[in-house]
Chains A and B, each alone.
Chain A
Amino acid sequence: MSHPPPADPVALEFDQVTFGYGPVPVLREVSLQIGQGTFVALVGANGSGKTTLMRLGLGLLRPTQGAVRLFGADASRFRERWRVGYVPQRASAVTSLPVSVTEVVRTGLAGQLRPGRRFTRQHRERLEHVLDLMGLDDMRRRRLGELSGGQQQRALIARALVTEPRLLVLDEPTTGVDAEARTVLRESLEHLVKVEGISVVYVSHDPEGFAGLADRVIEVRAAQVVCVDPISLEPVGGTA
Protein backbone atom coordinates (compact mmCIF):
# COMPACT_ATOMS: atom_id res chain seq x y z
CA MET A 1 0.00 0.00 0.00
CA SER A 2 1.73 3.21 -0.98
CA HIS A 3 0.11 6.44 0.06
CA PRO A 4 1.27 9.93 -0.99
CA PRO A 5 3.39 11.69 1.65
CA PRO A 6 1.33 14.06 3.82
CA ALA A 7 1.73 17.75 3.10
CA ASP A 8 0.10 19.22 6.21
CA PRO A 9 2.47 20.06 9.07
CA VAL A 10 -0.38 19.77 11.58
CA ALA A 11 -1.95 16.36 12.03
CA LEU A 12 -4.80 17.38 14.33
CA GLU A 13 -6.11 20.82 15.22
CA PHE A 14 -8.82 22.00 17.59
CA ASP A 15 -9.84 25.58 16.92
CA GLN A 16 -11.95 27.20 19.66
CA VAL A 17 -13.91 23.97 20.14
CA THR A 18 -16.87 23.84 22.50
CA PHE A 19 -18.80 20.62 23.07
CA GLY A 20 -21.39 19.33 25.55
CA TYR A 21 -23.72 16.35 25.76
CA GLY A 22 -26.27 18.57 27.51
CA PRO A 23 -26.51 22.27 28.33
CA VAL A 24 -23.24 22.22 30.34
CA PRO A 25 -20.20 22.11 28.05
CA VAL A 26 -17.67 19.32 28.64
CA LEU A 27 -15.11 21.32 26.67
CA ARG A 28 -15.13 25.10 26.29
CA GLU A 29 -13.27 27.02 23.56
CA VAL A 30 -10.45 24.50 23.39
CA SER A 31 -7.61 25.21 21.00
CA LEU A 32 -4.87 22.64 20.47
CA GLN A 33 -2.49 21.68 17.68
CA ILE A 34 -0.74 18.34 17.30
CA GLY A 35 2.10 18.43 14.80
CA GLN A 36 3.26 15.54 12.67
CA GLY A 37 5.78 13.19 14.23
CA THR A 38 5.07 14.36 17.77
CA PHE A 39 3.99 12.39 20.82
CA VAL A 40 1.30 14.15 22.83
CA ALA A 41 -0.06 12.73 26.06
CA LEU A 42 -3.56 13.72 27.11
CA VAL A 43 -4.20 13.43 30.84
CA GLY A 44 -7.01 14.35 33.19
CA ALA A 45 -9.24 12.99 35.90
CA ASN A 46 -12.02 10.54 35.08
CA GLY A 47 -14.86 12.43 33.41
CA SER A 48 -12.68 15.45 32.65
CA GLY A 49 -13.43 15.19 28.93
CA LYS A 50 -10.23 13.68 27.51
CA THR A 51 -12.03 10.83 25.74
CA THR A 52 -14.59 13.32 24.41
CA LEU A 53 -11.77 15.49 23.11
CA MET A 54 -10.25 12.48 21.39
CA ARG A 55 -13.58 11.42 19.86
CA LEU A 56 -14.02 14.96 18.53
CA GLY A 57 -10.53 14.70 17.06
CA LEU A 58 -11.43 11.47 15.29
CA GLY A 59 -14.59 13.02 13.85
CA LEU A 60 -16.81 10.62 15.82
CA LEU A 61 -18.47 13.62 17.48
CA ARG A 62 -19.20 17.06 16.06
CA PRO A 63 -18.33 20.18 18.06
CA THR A 64 -21.13 22.49 19.19
CA GLN A 65 -18.91 25.41 18.22
CA GLY A 66 -15.49 25.78 16.65
CA ALA A 67 -13.70 23.50 14.20
CA VAL A 68 -11.72 20.25 14.37
CA ARG A 69 -9.35 19.60 11.50
CA LEU A 70 -7.59 16.35 10.62
CA PHE A 71 -4.67 16.99 8.27
CA GLY A 72 -6.30 20.31 7.35
CA ALA A 73 -9.78 18.88 6.59
CA ASP A 74 -12.98 18.98 8.64
CA ALA A 75 -12.68 15.93 10.94
CA SER A 76 -16.33 14.84 10.63
CA ARG A 77 -16.07 14.85 6.82
CA PHE A 78 -12.53 13.54 6.63
CA ARG A 79 -12.29 10.98 3.83
CA GLU A 80 -8.72 9.71 4.05
CA ARG A 81 -9.39 7.56 7.07
CA TRP A 82 -6.32 5.42 6.43
CA ARG A 83 -4.27 8.33 7.79
CA VAL A 84 -5.71 7.89 11.27
CA GLY A 85 -5.34 4.82 13.51
CA TYR A 86 -7.51 4.49 16.58
CA VAL A 87 -6.92 2.14 19.51
CA PRO A 88 -9.94 2.24 21.79
CA GLN A 89 -9.93 1.02 25.37
CA ARG A 90 -9.30 -2.71 25.47
CA ALA A 91 -12.69 -3.32 27.12
CA SER A 92 -14.21 -2.67 23.69
CA ALA A 93 -12.33 -5.72 22.39
CA VAL A 94 -14.26 -8.16 24.58
CA THR A 95 -15.80 -10.55 22.10
CA SER A 96 -18.79 -12.85 22.42
CA LEU A 97 -17.55 -15.01 19.56
CA PRO A 98 -14.12 -16.39 18.71
CA VAL A 99 -12.08 -14.05 16.57
CA SER A 100 -8.49 -14.71 15.53
CA VAL A 101 -5.69 -12.16 15.81
CA THR A 102 -5.43 -11.98 12.00
CA GLU A 103 -9.14 -11.28 11.70
CA VAL A 104 -8.96 -8.51 14.31
CA VAL A 105 -6.06 -6.82 12.56
CA ARG A 106 -7.75 -7.22 9.17
CA THR A 107 -10.82 -5.26 10.35
CA GLY A 108 -8.58 -2.19 10.28
CA LEU A 109 -8.58 -2.46 6.49
CA ALA A 110 -12.37 -2.78 6.12
CA GLY A 111 -12.84 0.95 5.58
CA GLN A 112 -10.59 0.82 2.53
CA LEU A 113 -12.52 -1.91 0.75
CA ARG A 114 -15.47 -1.32 -1.50
CA PRO A 115 -18.41 -3.71 -1.01
CA GLY A 116 -17.77 -7.02 -2.73
CA ARG A 117 -14.04 -6.38 -3.19
CA ARG A 118 -11.43 -8.73 -1.76
CA PHE A 119 -8.26 -7.81 0.08
CA THR A 120 -5.42 -7.19 -2.34
CA ARG A 121 -1.87 -8.53 -2.21
CA GLN A 122 -0.76 -5.14 -0.86
CA HIS A 123 -3.29 -5.43 1.95
CA ARG A 124 -1.99 -8.90 2.79
CA GLU A 125 1.62 -7.68 2.75
CA ARG A 126 0.70 -4.81 5.04
CA LEU A 127 -1.05 -7.27 7.36
CA GLU A 128 2.07 -9.44 7.50
CA HIS A 129 4.21 -6.38 8.20
CA VAL A 130 2.19 -5.17 11.20
CA LEU A 131 1.86 -8.66 12.66
CA ASP A 132 5.63 -8.88 12.51
CA LEU A 133 6.12 -5.31 13.78
CA MET A 134 3.93 -5.91 16.84
CA GLY A 135 5.43 -9.35 17.56
CA LEU A 136 2.21 -11.20 16.79
CA ASP A 137 3.50 -13.42 14.04
CA ASP A 138 3.39 -16.67 16.00
CA MET A 139 -0.05 -16.03 17.50
CA ARG A 140 -1.92 -14.93 14.39
CA ARG A 141 -4.32 -17.89 14.42
CA ARG A 142 -5.03 -17.76 18.14
CA ARG A 143 -8.29 -16.45 19.55
CA LEU A 144 -8.01 -12.89 20.80
CA GLY A 145 -9.73 -13.89 24.04
CA GLU A 146 -6.96 -16.44 24.83
CA LEU A 147 -4.21 -13.80 24.79
CA SER A 148 -2.88 -11.81 27.73
CA GLY A 149 -3.93 -8.17 28.18
CA GLY A 150 -0.67 -6.93 26.69
CA GLN A 151 -0.92 -9.23 23.66
CA GLN A 152 -4.52 -8.13 23.06
CA GLN A 153 -3.41 -4.52 23.23
CA ARG A 154 -0.70 -5.19 20.66
CA ALA A 155 -3.29 -6.77 18.37
CA LEU A 156 -5.48 -3.66 18.65
CA ILE A 157 -2.49 -1.42 17.91
CA ALA A 158 -1.64 -3.61 14.92
CA ARG A 159 -5.21 -3.14 13.67
CA ALA A 160 -4.79 0.63 13.95
CA LEU A 161 -1.41 0.51 12.16
CA VAL A 162 -2.41 -1.73 9.28
CA THR A 163 -3.39 1.21 7.06
CA GLU A 164 -0.03 2.95 7.62
CA PRO A 165 -1.59 5.87 9.50
CA ARG A 166 0.18 9.15 10.13
CA LEU A 167 -1.71 9.77 13.38
CA LEU A 168 -2.23 7.13 16.06
CA VAL A 169 -4.73 7.76 18.86
CA LEU A 170 -4.57 5.43 21.87
CA ASP A 171 -7.18 5.50 24.63
CA GLU A 172 -5.89 4.20 27.99
CA PRO A 173 -3.61 1.62 26.33
CA THR A 174 -2.03 0.34 29.54
CA THR A 175 -5.23 -0.43 31.45
CA GLY A 176 -5.13 -4.06 32.58
CA VAL A 177 -1.70 -4.62 31.02
CA ASP A 178 1.17 -6.18 32.99
CA ALA A 179 4.57 -4.53 33.51
CA GLU A 180 6.36 -6.57 30.83
CA ALA A 181 3.71 -5.78 28.23
CA ARG A 182 3.93 -2.09 29.15
CA THR A 183 7.63 -2.16 28.37
CA VAL A 184 6.96 -3.80 24.98
CA LEU A 185 4.26 -1.21 24.31
CA ARG A 186 6.63 1.66 25.17
CA GLU A 187 9.30 0.28 22.83
CA SER A 188 6.76 -0.14 20.05
CA LEU A 189 5.50 3.43 20.44
CA GLU A 190 9.03 4.80 20.56
CA HIS A 191 9.79 3.00 17.31
CA LEU A 192 6.62 4.32 15.68
CA VAL A 193 7.37 7.94 16.56
CA LYS A 194 11.13 7.97 16.02
CA VAL A 195 11.51 5.59 13.09
CA GLU A 196 8.15 5.70 11.32
CA GLY A 197 7.49 9.39 12.10
CA ILE A 198 3.92 8.81 13.25
CA SER A 199 2.13 11.35 15.47
CA VAL A 200 0.79 9.79 18.64
CA VAL A 201 -1.98 11.00 20.91
CA TYR A 202 -1.84 8.95 24.09
CA VAL A 203 -4.85 9.31 26.39
CA SER A 204 -4.12 8.10 29.89
CA HIS A 205 -4.42 8.90 33.56
CA ASP A 206 -1.19 6.97 34.20
CA PRO A 207 1.97 9.06 33.49
CA GLU A 208 4.21 5.98 33.70
CA GLY A 209 3.06 4.85 30.27
CA PHE A 210 4.35 7.94 28.44
CA ALA A 211 7.11 9.21 30.75
CA GLY A 212 10.19 9.97 28.66
CA LEU A 213 8.27 9.53 25.42
CA ALA A 214 5.88 12.48 25.34
CA ASP A 215 6.99 15.69 23.67
CA ARG A 216 4.07 17.47 25.32
CA VAL A 217 1.61 16.60 28.06
CA ILE A 218 -1.79 18.27 27.91
CA GLU A 219 -4.20 18.13 30.81
CA VAL A 220 -7.95 18.45 30.35
CA ARG A 221 -9.17 20.33 33.39
CA ALA A 222 -12.39 22.29 34.00
CA ALA A 223 -13.41 22.03 30.33
CA GLN A 224 -10.09 23.58 29.20
CA VAL A 225 -6.71 22.23 28.12
CA VAL A 226 -3.44 23.26 29.76
CA CYS A 227 0.16 22.28 29.10
CA VAL A 228 1.70 20.46 32.06
CA ASP A 229 5.21 19.35 32.93
CA PRO A 230 5.77 15.77 31.65
CA ILE A 231 7.19 14.65 35.00
CA SER A 232 5.55 16.68 37.76
CA LEU A 233 2.31 17.22 35.77
CA GLU A 234 2.28 20.78 37.16
CA PRO A 235 0.99 23.47 34.75
CA VAL A 236 3.64 25.18 32.68
CA GLY A 237 3.47 28.25 30.46
CA GLY A 238 2.76 28.15 26.74
CA THR A 239 -0.23 27.49 24.56
CA ALA A 240 -1.55 24.00 23.94
Chain B
Amino acid sequence: MGALEFGFMQRALVACTVIAAAAPLVGCFIVQRRQSLIGDGMGHMAFAGVGLAFLVGLNPLVGALALTIVAALALVRLSRAGVGGDLSLALIFYGGIAAGFLFSARSGGGQNQILSLLFGSPLNLGWDQVGAVTALAAAVVLVVTVLYPQLVALAFDEAAARAAGVPTQGLVLALTVLVALVVVGGMSSIGLLLISAMMVVPVATAAQVTSSYRATLWLASAIGAVSAVAGLLIAFYANAPTGAAIVLLALGGYCATALIRLGVRSLRPVVRRSRRVAVR
Protein backbone atom coordinates (compact mmCIF):
# COMPACT_ATOMS: atom_id res chain seq x y z
CA MET B 1 0.00 0.00 0.00
CA GLY B 2 1.49 3.35 -1.06
CA ALA B 3 2.01 6.13 1.46
CA LEU B 4 -0.48 8.40 -0.27
CA GLU B 5 -3.33 5.94 0.08
CA PHE B 6 -3.58 6.95 3.73
CA GLY B 7 -5.88 9.88 4.50
CA PHE B 8 -3.47 11.36 7.06
CA MET B 9 -0.70 11.34 4.44
CA GLN B 10 -2.92 13.10 1.90
CA ARG B 11 -3.73 15.81 4.43
CA ALA B 12 -0.07 16.15 5.44
CA LEU B 13 0.96 16.34 1.78
CA VAL B 14 -1.43 19.20 1.03
CA ALA B 15 -0.55 21.17 4.19
CA CYS B 16 3.23 20.78 3.86
CA THR B 17 3.34 21.43 0.11
CA VAL B 18 1.24 24.59 0.05
CA ILE B 19 3.09 26.25 2.91
CA ALA B 20 6.52 25.13 1.71
CA ALA B 21 5.71 26.56 -1.74
CA ALA B 22 4.41 29.86 -0.29
CA ALA B 23 7.24 30.40 2.23
CA PRO B 24 10.01 31.19 -0.33
CA LEU B 25 7.75 33.75 -2.01
CA VAL B 26 8.10 35.82 1.16
CA GLY B 27 11.67 34.62 1.75
CA CYS B 28 12.87 36.22 -1.50
CA PHE B 29 12.10 39.65 -0.09
CA ILE B 30 13.39 39.10 3.43
CA VAL B 31 16.67 37.57 2.21
CA GLN B 32 17.23 40.52 -0.12
CA ARG B 33 16.52 42.90 2.79
CA ARG B 34 19.02 40.95 4.95
CA GLN B 35 16.33 39.91 7.40
CA SER B 36 16.75 36.16 7.02
CA LEU B 37 16.24 35.56 10.74
CA ILE B 38 12.97 37.47 11.01
CA GLY B 39 11.03 34.20 10.63
CA ASP B 40 12.77 32.83 13.70
CA GLY B 41 11.71 35.85 15.75
CA MET B 42 8.15 35.45 14.53
CA GLY B 43 8.25 31.71 15.27
CA HIS B 44 9.13 32.40 18.89
CA MET B 45 6.31 34.93 19.14
CA ALA B 46 3.90 32.40 17.64
CA PHE B 47 5.04 30.00 20.38
CA ALA B 48 3.97 32.63 22.93
CA GLY B 49 0.65 32.95 21.08
CA VAL B 50 0.08 29.21 21.24
CA GLY B 51 0.90 29.20 24.97
CA LEU B 52 -1.50 32.06 25.54
CA ALA B 53 -4.19 30.24 23.55
CA PHE B 54 -3.74 27.15 25.74
CA LEU B 55 -3.98 29.35 28.82
CA VAL B 56 -7.23 31.09 27.85
CA GLY B 57 -8.74 28.18 25.92
CA LEU B 58 -8.50 29.56 22.40
CA ASN B 59 -7.64 27.81 19.13
CA PRO B 60 -3.78 27.75 18.99
CA LEU B 61 -3.88 29.06 15.40
CA VAL B 62 -5.82 32.14 16.50
CA GLY B 63 -3.45 32.78 19.41
CA ALA B 64 -0.37 32.40 17.22
CA LEU B 65 -1.80 34.62 14.48
CA ALA B 66 -2.77 37.35 16.97
CA LEU B 67 0.62 37.52 18.69
CA THR B 68 2.69 37.29 15.49
CA ILE B 69 0.74 40.20 14.00
CA VAL B 70 1.30 42.16 17.23
CA ALA B 71 5.02 41.27 16.90
CA ALA B 72 5.00 42.43 13.26
CA LEU B 73 3.57 45.79 14.30
CA ALA B 74 6.03 46.04 17.19
CA LEU B 75 8.99 45.32 14.89
CA VAL B 76 7.98 48.09 12.52
CA ARG B 77 7.39 50.53 15.41
CA LEU B 78 10.74 49.70 17.02
CA SER B 79 12.50 50.13 13.70
CA ARG B 80 10.87 53.55 13.18
CA ALA B 81 11.86 54.52 16.73
CA GLY B 82 15.48 53.97 15.74
CA VAL B 83 16.03 50.57 17.41
CA GLY B 84 18.38 48.61 15.13
CA GLY B 85 16.92 45.74 13.07
CA ASP B 86 18.84 42.97 14.83
CA LEU B 87 18.19 44.41 18.29
CA SER B 88 14.44 44.76 17.74
CA LEU B 89 14.36 41.20 16.40
CA ALA B 90 16.28 39.95 19.44
CA LEU B 91 13.81 41.65 21.78
CA ILE B 92 10.90 39.92 20.02
CA PHE B 93 12.80 36.63 19.88
CA TYR B 94 13.61 36.42 23.60
CA GLY B 95 10.30 37.90 24.70
CA GLY B 96 8.47 35.30 22.61
CA ILE B 97 10.32 32.25 23.88
CA ALA B 98 10.09 33.35 27.52
CA ALA B 99 6.40 34.22 27.32
CA GLY B 100 5.66 31.03 25.38
CA PHE B 101 7.28 28.84 28.00
CA LEU B 102 5.60 30.75 30.86
CA PHE B 103 2.12 30.56 29.28
CA SER B 104 2.54 26.88 28.45
CA ALA B 105 3.70 26.04 31.96
CA ARG B 106 0.80 27.96 33.53
CA SER B 107 -1.75 26.41 31.18
CA GLY B 108 -0.59 22.88 31.93
CA GLY B 109 -0.32 22.26 28.18
CA GLY B 110 1.14 18.85 27.45
CA GLN B 111 4.78 18.66 26.40
CA ASN B 112 3.84 16.57 23.38
CA GLN B 113 1.43 19.23 22.16
CA ILE B 114 4.09 21.92 22.51
CA LEU B 115 6.75 19.80 20.81
CA SER B 116 4.40 19.06 17.93
CA LEU B 117 3.99 22.80 17.34
CA LEU B 118 7.68 23.55 17.67
CA PHE B 119 8.77 20.81 15.25
CA GLY B 120 5.54 20.11 13.33
CA SER B 121 3.24 17.08 13.24
CA PRO B 122 1.50 17.10 9.85
CA LEU B 123 0.29 13.53 10.21
CA ASN B 124 -2.16 14.59 12.92
CA LEU B 125 -3.90 17.32 10.91
CA GLY B 126 -7.61 17.28 10.15
CA TRP B 127 -9.06 18.63 6.89
CA ASP B 128 -10.23 21.78 8.72
CA GLN B 129 -6.64 22.53 9.75
CA VAL B 130 -5.40 21.76 6.24
CA GLY B 131 -8.01 24.22 4.95
CA ALA B 132 -6.74 26.93 7.33
CA VAL B 133 -3.11 26.35 6.25
CA THR B 134 -4.15 26.47 2.57
CA ALA B 135 -6.07 29.70 3.15
CA LEU B 136 -3.03 31.32 4.80
CA ALA B 137 -0.76 30.15 1.96
CA ALA B 138 -3.26 31.45 -0.61
CA ALA B 139 -3.35 34.83 1.16
CA VAL B 140 0.45 34.99 0.96
CA VAL B 141 0.47 34.16 -2.78
CA LEU B 142 -2.27 36.72 -3.44
CA VAL B 143 -0.55 39.57 -1.58
CA VAL B 144 2.84 38.83 -3.17
CA THR B 145 1.25 38.73 -6.64
CA VAL B 146 -0.66 41.99 -6.14
CA LEU B 147 2.26 43.91 -4.59
CA TYR B 148 5.09 42.26 -6.56
CA PRO B 149 6.55 45.35 -8.36
CA GLN B 150 6.44 47.44 -5.19
CA LEU B 151 7.93 44.67 -3.04
CA VAL B 152 10.80 44.19 -5.49
CA ALA B 153 11.50 47.94 -5.43
CA LEU B 154 11.42 47.94 -1.62
CA ALA B 155 13.65 44.88 -1.30
CA PHE B 156 16.19 46.12 -3.81
CA ASP B 157 16.63 49.71 -2.55
CA GLU B 158 14.30 51.16 0.07
CA ALA B 159 15.51 54.79 -0.18
CA ALA B 160 15.24 54.86 -3.97
CA ALA B 161 11.82 53.19 -3.79
CA ARG B 162 10.61 55.83 -1.36
CA ALA B 163 11.97 58.62 -3.54
CA ALA B 164 10.11 57.05 -6.49
CA GLY B 165 6.80 57.23 -4.60
CA VAL B 166 6.53 53.63 -3.37
CA PRO B 167 4.74 53.60 0.02
CA THR B 168 7.62 51.86 1.75
CA GLN B 169 6.37 52.10 5.35
CA GLY B 170 3.13 50.32 4.53
CA LEU B 171 5.00 47.72 2.46
CA VAL B 172 7.46 46.96 5.28
CA LEU B 173 4.47 46.31 7.52
CA ALA B 174 2.80 44.16 4.84
CA LEU B 175 5.99 42.12 4.39
CA THR B 176 6.32 41.56 8.15
CA VAL B 177 2.68 40.43 8.34
CA LEU B 178 3.36 38.04 5.42
CA VAL B 179 6.20 36.50 7.45
CA ALA B 180 3.76 36.11 10.34
CA LEU B 181 1.23 34.38 8.05
CA VAL B 182 3.84 31.91 6.79
CA VAL B 183 5.02 31.13 10.33
CA VAL B 184 1.50 30.51 11.58
CA GLY B 185 0.63 28.54 8.44
CA GLY B 186 3.68 26.32 8.86
CA MET B 187 3.35 25.88 12.60
CA SER B 188 1.37 22.65 12.65
CA SER B 189 2.95 21.06 9.58
CA ILE B 190 6.66 21.92 9.44
CA GLY B 191 6.96 23.44 12.91
CA LEU B 192 7.48 26.87 14.44
CA LEU B 193 11.23 26.43 14.74
CA LEU B 194 11.69 24.99 11.25
CA ILE B 195 9.29 26.89 8.98
CA SER B 196 11.59 29.93 8.78
CA ALA B 197 14.19 27.66 7.16
CA MET B 198 11.73 27.11 4.30
CA MET B 199 11.60 30.87 3.75
CA VAL B 200 15.37 31.06 3.35
CA VAL B 201 16.96 27.77 2.20
CA PRO B 202 15.04 27.29 -1.10
CA VAL B 203 15.78 30.93 -1.97
CA ALA B 204 19.49 30.42 -1.32
CA THR B 205 19.43 27.31 -3.53
CA ALA B 206 17.54 28.96 -6.39
CA ALA B 207 19.75 32.07 -6.30
CA GLN B 208 22.76 29.93 -7.25
CA VAL B 209 21.38 29.07 -10.66
CA THR B 210 19.09 31.93 -11.71
CA SER B 211 19.83 35.32 -13.22
CA SER B 212 16.68 37.23 -12.35
CA TYR B 213 14.58 37.98 -9.31
CA ARG B 214 11.41 36.57 -10.79
CA ALA B 215 13.09 33.30 -11.76
CA THR B 216 14.55 33.01 -8.25
CA LEU B 217 11.10 33.54 -6.75
CA TRP B 218 9.38 30.82 -8.78
CA LEU B 219 12.25 28.33 -8.68
CA ALA B 220 12.54 28.75 -4.89
CA SER B 221 8.81 28.10 -4.56
CA ALA B 222 9.13 24.94 -6.66
CA ILE B 223 12.14 23.78 -4.59
CA GLY B 224 10.11 24.37 -1.42
CA ALA B 225 7.22 22.26 -2.76
CA VAL B 226 9.48 19.43 -3.97
CA SER B 227 11.34 19.39 -0.64
CA ALA B 228 8.01 19.11 1.18
CA VAL B 229 6.73 16.19 -0.94
CA ALA B 230 10.03 14.29 -0.91
CA GLY B 231 10.71 15.04 2.75
CA LEU B 232 7.27 13.84 3.78
CA LEU B 233 7.66 10.57 1.86
CA ILE B 234 11.16 9.98 3.25
CA ALA B 235 9.90 10.68 6.76
CA PHE B 236 7.03 8.21 6.24
CA TYR B 237 9.21 5.34 5.00
CA ALA B 238 12.13 6.06 7.35
CA ASN B 239 9.87 6.72 10.33
CA ALA B 240 11.58 10.10 10.85
CA PRO B 241 10.24 13.49 12.04
CA THR B 242 8.57 15.18 9.06
CA GLY B 243 9.55 18.83 9.59
CA ALA B 244 13.19 17.90 10.13
CA ALA B 245 13.21 15.66 7.03
CA ILE B 246 11.78 18.46 4.85
CA VAL B 247 14.26 21.08 6.07
CA LEU B 248 17.25 18.72 5.88
CA LEU B 249 16.28 17.74 2.35
CA ALA B 250 16.06 21.41 1.37
CA LEU B 251 19.50 21.99 2.92
CA GLY B 252 20.81 18.95 1.05
CA GLY B 253 19.53 20.52 -2.16
CA TYR B 254 21.43 23.70 -1.34
CA CYS B 255 24.68 21.79 -0.65
CA ALA B 256 24.29 19.65 -3.80
CA THR B 257 23.71 22.75 -5.95
CA ALA B 258 26.74 24.48 -4.43
CA LEU B 259 28.92 21.43 -5.05
CA ILE B 260 27.73 21.07 -8.65
CA ARG B 261 28.47 24.75 -9.28
CA LEU B 262 31.90 24.35 -7.75
CA GLY B 263 32.54 21.30 -9.95
CA VAL B 264 31.37 23.09 -13.09
CA ARG B 265 33.58 26.09 -12.29
CA SER B 266 36.65 23.99 -11.71
CA LEU B 267 36.01 21.93 -14.85
CA ARG B 268 35.56 24.95 -17.10
CA PRO B 269 39.28 25.75 -17.58
CA VAL B 270 40.00 22.06 -18.28
CA VAL B 271 37.30 21.95 -20.98
CA ARG B 272 38.61 25.21 -22.50
CA ARG B 273 42.16 23.86 -22.57
CA SER B 274 41.12 20.60 -24.20
CA ARG B 275 39.10 22.51 -26.82
CA ARG B 276 42.15 24.63 -27.64
CA VAL B 277 44.25 21.49 -28.02
CA ALA B 278 41.61 19.95 -30.29
CA VAL B 279 41.53 23.07 -32.50
CA ARG B 280 45.33 22.96 -32.89
Interface residues of A (CB under 8 A from B): 55, 58-60, 79, 81-82, 84, 86-88, 92-93, 95-100, 102-104, 106-113, 115-116, 119, 141-143, 156, 159-160, 163, 169
Give the distance in Å from the alpha carbon of A116 to the alpha carbon of B112 in the complex.
43
Task: List residues of chain A with CB within 8 A of the CB of B210.
Answer: 98
A103 CA to B93 CA, complexed, in Å: 34
Chain B residues close to A by CB (< 8 Å): 28, 31-32, 34, 145-147, 149-150, 152-153, 156-157, 159-166, 203, 207, 210-216
Give the docked Cα–Cα distance between A200 and B157 (Å).
Answer: 21
- Bound-state CA distance A128–B11 (Å) is 48
Contacts of A169 in B (CB 8 A): 163
The interface residues of chain B, by DSSP majority, are classed as: helix
Whether A109 touches B149, Cβ cut-off 8 Å, given contacts A93-B157, A100-B212, A103-B212, is yes
Nearest-Cβ distance from residue B165 to partner chain A, whole angstroms: 3
Partner of B211, one of A92, A98, A106, A113: A98
Residues of A within 8 A of B214 (CB): 103
Name the residue of chain B whose CB is nearest to the CB of A169: B163
In the bound complex, how far is the Cα of B28 from the Cα of A169, in angstroms?
29
A and B contact pairs by CB, cutoff 8 A, 25 listed? A60-B163, A81-B165, A82-B165, A88-B159, A92-B160, A93-B157, A95-B32, A96-B31, A97-B28, A98-B207, A99-B213, A102-B212, A107-B160, A110-B153, A110-B161, A110-B164, A110-B166, A111-B165, A115-B146, A115-B147, A115-B150, A116-B146, A143-B212, A159-B160, A163-B164
The answer on a CB contact under 8 Å between A58 and B163 is yes
Contact B157 A92 (CB under 8 A): yes
CA A115 to CA B146, docked complex, whole Å: 6
A100-B212, A103-B152 are contacts. A60–B164 as well, Cβ < 8 Å?
no
Closest chain A residue to B208, Cβ basis: A98
Nearest chain B CB to A160 CB, angstrom units: 8
Contact B212 A111 (CB under 8 A): no
A156 to B156, CA, bound (A): 11
B157 contacts A110, C-beta separation under 8 Å: no
Neighbour of A113 across the interface among B32, B149, B163, B213, CB < 8 A = B149
Query: Given A92-B157, A107-B156, are A97 and B149 also a contact pair (CB < 8 Å)?
Result: no
With A96-B31, A98-B211: A86-B156 Cβ-Cβ less than 8 Å: no
B157 & A88 in contact (Cβ 8 Å cutoff) = yes
Q: Across the interface, which residues of B come within 8 angstroms of A81, CB to CB?
A: 163-165
Q: Are B216 and A98 in contact (CB under 8 A)?
A: yes
Closest A residue to B157 using CB positions: A92
Contacts A60-B163, A110-B164 known; A103 to B213 CB distance under 8 Å?
A: yes
Given contacts A58-B163, A107-B161, A110-B164, contact A99 B146 (CB under 8 A): no
Residue ID in chain A nearest B212 by CB atoms: A100
Q: List 18 additional A-B contacts (Cβ < 8 Å) besides A97-B203, A98-B216, A115-B150.
A: A60-B162, A86-B164, A92-B160, A98-B211, A98-B215, A99-B212, A100-B211, A100-B212, A103-B152, A107-B149, A107-B156, A109-B164, A110-B152, A111-B161, A111-B166, A115-B147, A119-B149, A141-B212
